[in-house]
């Protein structure tokens, strides 16, 4: 016959010292389970002498109830403490920065270059304007002095949307639109998308970006064109850059010139460490744009708005933004600028 009071004291001490709900489960089995001393005692009461059965049974049941109550209280206490602990541990401070902090991201290379170009020409006194990508044949070709039989008008070279409506093949139509809206003098640059039915390869894609420029004023000469583009080239490619004009042909300029800049990679020597310079292919010069003096025939289309070709002259140019981005960032294939592979884009993350 176990000493029930001693058993009770021992069990109460163990329950009081338990620190986890799982320990309490073990103690419940140990003191109240089927094989516990207490249960065995209650089961074998019938074997006791009759005068002991009442008092022992009563005492054993008392101990049982006391231990059950204590286990219940202790379980509730520990569960509450456990919940408090988890809540404290799992607390998230939503005012902290994310971990790891997300990179801020940056503009696409083409946008970075476009913005740099805009900034340079803003500094030279030009305004930035934009125009429609869906354009009339009139603005894209006719008013830019393309004769009706000019091959660029053919559907092989131009996406037509309707009879006289097309996707602009260059940003030049904005020359006419801007002059219709604003009397001389005018100094504008026009960035934007242009479209041509080209099969994609390393240097062609059917949609790309140009930046057009137009300056019309009194006493404008080819020297102004050269000086303006020299300033641009120095700021874009480096202070030592030179520019070179070569004769060219465009229907809307007369004379027309192709503009080259001295190679910013090899300094114009054509060599990098005794090897042929990969940027200018050993030429020392890189063609960057088409340009010229605005053809008087073009001014005639806007003569009614003050563009008297006896009184004002102008120069204009158009350059490919992707082409400049490829040169500056040494991107070998034009298509890479449209694939949006983050491995390429992240190499040039330090942009505005």
Q: Under the rule (CB under 6 A), what is the footprint of ligand DAH?
A: 170, 172, 212, 250, 253, 290-292, 316-318
Query: Residue 285: CB partners within 8 Å, gap ≥ 6?
Result: 244, 260, 261, 262, 263, 268
Taking the complex as a whole, how short is the minimal distance between the CB of residue 159 and ligand DAH, in angstroms?
Answer: 14
Report the C-alpha dihedral over residues 192, 195, 199, 201, rounded to 10 degrees: -10
Nearer to ligand DAH, 241 or 253 (CB): 253
Q: In terms of Cα–Cα distance, which of 319, 324, 269, 333 is closest to 291?
A: 319
CA distances 67 to 176, 201, 204, Å, are 98, 85, 87
Nearer to ligand DAH, 184 or 292 (CB): 292
* CB closest to ligand DAH, residue no: 318
Taking the complex as a whole, how short is the minimal distance between the CB of residue 204 and ligand DAH, in angstroms?
Answer: 13
Taking the complex as a whole, how short is the minimal distance between the CB of residue 215 and ligand DAH, in angstroms?
Answer: 11
Taking the complex as a whole, how short is the minimal distance between the CB of residue 195 and ligand DAH, in angstroms?
Answer: 11
CA angle 339, 342, 345 (to 5 degrees): 85
Taking the complex as a whole, how short is the minimal distance between the CB of residue 212 and ligand DAH, in angstroms?
Answer: 5
Nearer to ligand DAH, 171 or 241 (CB): 171
Nearer to ligand DAH, 106 or 146 (CB): 146
CB 260 within 8 A of CB 285: yes
Taking the complex as a whole, how short is the minimal distance between the CB of residue 253 and ligand DAH, in angstroms?
Answer: 4
Nearer to ligand DAH, 207 or 272 (CB): 207
Nearer to ligand DAH, 174 or 280 (CB): 174
Nearer to ligand DAH, 27 or 178 (CB): 178
Q: Which residues pair with 134 in a beta bridge?
A: 167
Buried b (16+ CB within 10 A) or exposed e, 208-217: bbbbbbbbbe
Q: Which 3 state secondary structure label does DSSP give 224?
A: helix
Nearer to ligand DAH, 7 or 327 (CB): 327
What the block records as the tokens of 298 is: 């073009």
Taking the complex as a whole, how short is the minimal distance between the CB of residue 266 and ligand DAH, in angstroms?
Answer: 26
Nearer to ligand DAH, 71 or 174 (CB): 174
Q: In terms of Cα–Cα distance, which of 305, 310, 316 is closest to 184?
A: 305
Secondary structure letter of residue 106 according to DSSP: -
CB 257 within 8 A of CB 242: no
Taking the complex as a whole, how short is the minimal distance between the CB of residue 345 and ligand DAH, in angstroms?
Answer: 26
Taking the complex as a whole, how short is the minimal distance between the CB of residue 285 and ligand DAH, in angstroms?
Answer: 18
Nearer to ligand DAH, 248 or 306 (CB): 248
Query: Residue 54: CB partners within 8 Å, gap ≥ 6?
Result: none
Q: Which run of H or E residues covers position 111?
A: helix 109-123
Taking the complex as a whole, how short is the minimal distance between the CB of residue 291 and ligand DAH, in angstroms?
Answer: 5
Say how far apart CA 211 and CA 181 lie, in whole Å. 19
Q: What is the CA radius of gyration of the chain?
A: 43
Q: Which 3 state secondary structure label does DSSP give 112?
A: helix
Q: Which residues pair with 276 in a beta bridge?
A: 271
Instruction: For the beta carbon of residue 337, count every other beta carbon within 10 angstroms.
Output: 22
């Amino acid at each position: 016959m176990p000493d029930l009071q001693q058993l009770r004291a021992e069990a109460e001490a163990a329950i009081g010292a338990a620190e986890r709900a799982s320990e309490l489960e073990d103690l419940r089995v140990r003191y109240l389970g089927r094989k516990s001393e207490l249960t065995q005692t209650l089961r074998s009461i019938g074997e006791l002498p009759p005068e002991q059965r009442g008092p022992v049974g009563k005492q054993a049941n008392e101990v049982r109830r006391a231990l059950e109550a204590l286990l219940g209280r202790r379980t509730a206490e520990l569960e509450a403490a456990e919940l408090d602990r988890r809540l404290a541990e799992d607390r998230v401070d939503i005012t902290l920065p994310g971990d790891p902090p997300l990179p801020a991201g940056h503009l696409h290379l083409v946008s970075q270059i476009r913005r740099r170009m805009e900034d340079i020409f803003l500094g030279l006194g030009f305004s930035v304007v934009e125009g429609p990508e869906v354009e009339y044949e009139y603005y894209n070709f006719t008013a830019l002095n393309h004769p009706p039989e000019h091959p660029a008008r053919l559907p092989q070279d131009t996406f037509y949307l309707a009879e006289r409506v097309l996707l602009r093949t260059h940003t030049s139509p904005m020359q006419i639109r801007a002059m219709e809206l604003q009397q001389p003098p005018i100094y504008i640059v026009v960035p934007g998308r242009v479209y041509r039915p080209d099969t994609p390869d390393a240097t062609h894609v059917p949609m790309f970006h140009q930046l057009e420029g137009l300056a019309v004023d009194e006493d404008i000469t080819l020297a102004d064109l050269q000086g303006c583009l020299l300033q641009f080239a120095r700021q874009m490619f480096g202070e030592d850059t030179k520019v070179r004009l070569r004769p060219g042909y465009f229907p809307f300029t007369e004379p027309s010139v192709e503009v080259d800049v001295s190679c910013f990679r090899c300094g114009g020597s054509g060599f990098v460490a005794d090897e042929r310079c990969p940027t200018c292919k050993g030429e020392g010069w890189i063609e960057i744009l088409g340009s010229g003096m605005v053809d008087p025939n073009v001014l005639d289309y806007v003569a009614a708005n003050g563009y008297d070709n006896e009184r004002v002259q102008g120069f204009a140019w158009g350059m490919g933004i992707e082409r400049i981005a490829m040169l500056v960032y040494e991107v070998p294939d034009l298509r890479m600028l449209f694939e949006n592979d983050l491995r390429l884009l992240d190499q040039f993350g330090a942009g505005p």
